[in-house]
Amino acid sequence: MNYRPTERTIVLATAIAAAFEGLRAGAGTFRALLDLPARTRVGPLAFADFSRATDLSTVGVIFYVVFGIGGVLVTAVAWLIARRGQAATAVRRLLGVSAIASLLILVLTAQAAPLMWRVGSAPPDPALLRSLLDRFTAWTMARIVCVDISFAAVLGALTFFALPRTRSS
């Protein structure tokens, strides 16, 4: 099979990745600016209860699995399509950055998720919960940085198609 994606296919794959990464970046921004800072105001016991009701609920777990694995899939597929379609070097590099950043999110999640699972099963000990939540927050902030990088890179790749340029790029 010798299929070579058209520019239209590359743009579509990049737009889908941009939309998905935009949702992840928005969710990350919400988390960084609203959810995580609230833990210091409500205290570790209340925030642990909140996390059990949201992040650790069935819907929460499904949401994070889809967002984590989905991000890697959509960015990697966009990069592969751009590479196979011999898109401009800038597009391939930006989509590569996006895919790598998405993969890093999974690596960082391997550190953050066990902490949140421990929050879910921890006794109501404020010092223990504070420690777990502080470490979880540090890993999560690193993940949010990666999401923002991924979104910026895929948005840059998509923008490339809208800019006037010579076709030799």
CA gap 124, 48 in Å, rounded:
9
Check: CB of residue 136 under 8 Å from CB of residue 32. no
Residue 3: its pLDDT value, please?
A: 82
Residue 164: its pLDDT value, please?
A: 82
Per-residue pLDDT of 89-139, as tens digits, reads 999 999 999 999 999 999 999 999 999 999 999 999 999 999 999 999 999
**Cα 42 to the chain's mean position, in Å?**
26
Calculate mean pLDDT across residues 14-42.
96
Residue 167: its pLDDT value, please?
A: 56
